[in-house]
Structures are given as structure tokens and as C-alpha cells.
Amino acid sequence: MVHQDVLKAVEDVRIRQMRGGTIVTHAALMALRSAALKSKASSAKEFCDEVEQNSRYLTNIRAASVPLANGLRHVASEVQKAANAGAGVEKLKQTVSDAATKFDKKLEQSIGEIAEIGARRLKDGDVILTHSYSTAVLAILKKANEQKKRLRVFVTETRPELEGRDVAEELAEVGIDTTLIIDSAVSHFIEKTDKVIVGTEAVAANGAVVNKIGTATIAAVAHSARVRVYAAASTYKFSPETMLGELIEMEERDPSFVLDNPEMRKLPNLTVKNPAFDVTSPQDIDLIITERGVIPPQAAIMIVREQNGPSVFAT
């Protein structure tokens, strides 16, 4: 049975519409840790089965989130090693706790390192355009602001869930000159932009970037206008499965975000689609900013190879 702390974490993410893969991963790992510490399993096998079941359920929070999958994979790997070494239930509980906390701290630390590296890429007076909510992008822009670099930032509303409004509010609160624009106005504002910076849900082995729907269009518009496009991504967002030809699942969200009109939704010939993410071609990305440094998309394969490991759940 899935633990109540895990059920609550999934529900909290959905109800509160948590923004950013880093925040969602933190919520999932802490829920898995809590469930493990409260486990009443009487044997190592029973405990491992519980961890697997809870982890499987947590993957449903956001199918496209690679840091979430990588975090769960890390915990599963550590638990499996401990179980193979003959660890009992109490030792396995501590293993889950330590592994979840370690991954969470490393992910948080990577954001700080990305902020330092990314801010160095920005110049005083730069005009930046960003799309969707990204913990890493916010960290870069705030760090540049702390360094007294005067930025102007165009933030898309990011329809249909409008998380761009949260981004604009956070930037304005720290004193950054911020302009909120509608998504369809990007081509109008791109000529006034020096750099586009976007976050990521995942980075594929070929350097393609998965991010909030609309990112691919913005990157293509920027590429056509010869505006540089940066993607901010912790290496924990690089997907090892894609090296083996697996595709990153694209989440489809509730159509009511797009159209919440009961009468119109009764029309038999009307369908509403609400894909959450899209894939930006590596040809439209100039550089990926990671905690290890700045790399071209073509170098993503090297990071993926380093991180390639067993699947989260053995079959």
C-alpha cells in the first residue's frame, strides 16, 4: 500500500501546482524519506517492496521530470546495494533517509553553482527573455542582480497555467526591471532581446531540451533572430534512458486549464489538448549552463554516459 505521506505529496504538488522540477523533486524525495522512516515492515523484503511501490507512485507526479526519476533511481540503487549486503529494516530505513537527503542537497547545491556560472554570462545592461518557472533561471538572474548588473527581463505569462506571473513577481520583488508579456508577443520583443534563458525538465543525450510548452517556438524565433539561447540545467536533469533510445514522456494536463466552459465542452466536435512540455532542438540551443560549467548541446552525451546506470525499477 502506498504510504499516506507519499499520497499527500502527490496531491500537494497537483493542488498547489508546484513550479519547477527541482521543487517537485525535493517534495518527492522528502515524502519517500518520511514514508521509509515510518515504515512498519517486518522484513527487508517487505521494506524494499514498500520503497518500490512508493517510488513508482511518486513518478506519477511529473512523468517528464528527469531529476525526479534520477533522484528515485539514486535511492533505489542505494537501497538495493544495502539489501544485497544483508542490511536489516532499520539499516535500510537509514539508507533511504541518507540517500534521499544527499541527492536533495546535491540538487540544491547545483542550483547555486549554476547561478554563479550563469551570472558570469550576463553583462550589465543585458535584456533577457525567459519562459516558464525555473529555479535555476531565477537563481541566475538574482545572482546577476546581486552583482549589480542592471538587467531588463521580459517574462512570458506561460499559458495556460500562467506560472510566468510568479516569475515576474519574484524578479520585480528583488528590484529587477521586469516586463510581463503574453506568449504570442515573443516575436515582437525578441528584436529587443540580447539573450534568451530557459530552464529544463530534462536534457536528452543528443542535447535536445524538454521544457514547458512554447519553449521550442521561442528558441526557434530567437535562433532566426540571431539571439543566443541558453538552457539552465543541473546535470541531474540529463536523461540516461535517452542514450538507449528511450523517449521522454510528454505529459498531457487537464484541458480545463485551457477551456473551463461546461457548455462548450459538451460540443461533440470540440477537443481541447493541453500538452505540458515540448522538445527544443539542440540546433536552437547555443549553450547549456550546468553546475560543471557551460557546454554545447552536443556535449550532453558525455554527461549522460557518466550518469548512465540501472533503471529505477529492475524488471
228-234-238 Cα angle (round to 5) = 95
Of 43, 77, 110, which closes a domain? 110
Q: pLDDT per residue over 95-147, tens digit each?
A: 999 999 999 999 999 999 999 999 999 999 999 999 999 999 999 999 999 99
Shared-domain flag, residues 150 and 217: yes
Shared-domain flag, residues 260 and 154: yes
CA distance 113 to 143: 10
Quick check: is 313 in a domain?
Answer: no
Task: Count the domains in the chain.
Answer: 2
Q: 7 vs 137, which has greater pLDDT?
A: 137
Task: Quickly state the pLDDT bin for 309 (edges 50, 70, 90).
Answer: very low
For the cut 60, the answer to whether the pLDDT of residue 16 exceeds it is no
Shared-domain flag, residues 90 and 125: no
Quick check: is 315 in a domain?
Answer: no
Task: Quickly state the pLDDT bin for 15 (edges 50, 70, 90).
Answer: low
Q: 152 vs 237, which has greater pLDDT?
A: 152
CB-based contacts of 106, cutoff 8 Å, min separation 6:
236
pTM equals 0.84
CA distance 288 to 198: 10
Shared-domain flag, residues 134 and 243: yes
pLDDT confidence of residue 243: 65
Lowest mean pLDDT among 26-40, 58-72, 129-143: 58-72
Quick check: is 136 in a domain?
Answer: yes
Of 87, 110, 133, which closes a domain? 110
Quick check: is 202 in a domain?
Answer: yes
Mean pLDDT computed over every residue of the chain: 90
Q: Is the peptide bond before 160 cis (omega within 30 degrees of 0)?
A: yes
Quick check: is 312 in a domain?
Answer: no
Q: pLDDT per residue over 251-302, tens digit each?
A: 888 888 888 888 887 888 999 999 989 999 999 999 999 999 999 999 999 9
Burial code (b: 16+ CB inside 10 Å, e: under 16) for 263-282 equals eeeeeeeeeeebebbbbbeb
For the cut 90, the answer to whether the pLDDT of residue 310 exceeds it is no
Q: pLDDT per residue over 40-60, tens digit each?
A: 999 999 999 999 999 988 887
CB-based contacts of 209, cutoff 8 Å, min separation 6:
198, 200, 202, 203, 215, 219, 231, 233, 279, 280, 282, 285, 288, 297
Residue 105: count of CB within 10 angstroms of its CB: 11
Q: What average pLDDT does the segment 15-42 reach?
A: 84
Q: 261 vs 92, which has greater pLDDT?
A: 92
Of 66, 86, 110, which closes a domain? 110
Shared-domain flag, residues 92 and 157: no
Q: 241 vs 132, which has greater pLDDT?
A: 132
Quick check: is 79 in a domain?
Answer: yes
Shared-domain flag, residues 96 and 229: no
Shared-domain flag, residues 165 and 302: yes
> For position 132, which CATH number holds?
3.40.50.10470
Q: What average pLDDT does the segment 304-313 reach?
A: 58
Shared-domain flag, residues 171 and 302: yes
Shared-domain flag, residues 144 and 51: no
Shared-domain flag, residues 295 and 171: yes
Shared-domain flag, residues 124 and 105: no
For the cut 90, the answer to whether the pLDDT of residue 239 exceeds it is no
Shared-domain flag, residues 72 and 176: no
CB-based contacts of 4, cutoff 8 Å, min separation 6:
none
Quick check: is 139 in a domain?
Answer: yes
Lowest mean pLDDT among 17-31, 77-91, 161-175, 235-249: 235-249
> For position 83, which CATH number holds?
1.20.120.420
pLDDT confidence of residue 311: 40
For the cut 90, the answer to whether the pLDDT of residue 1 exceeds it is no
Quick check: is 216 in a domain?
Answer: yes
DSSP summary character for residue 207: S
Spatial contact of 8 and 2, defined as CB atoms under 8 Å apart: no
Q: What crossing angle do the helices spanning 66-84 and 21-37 adopt, rounded to 10°?
A: 30
pLDDT confidence of residue 63: 67
Domain that holds residue 19: 4-110
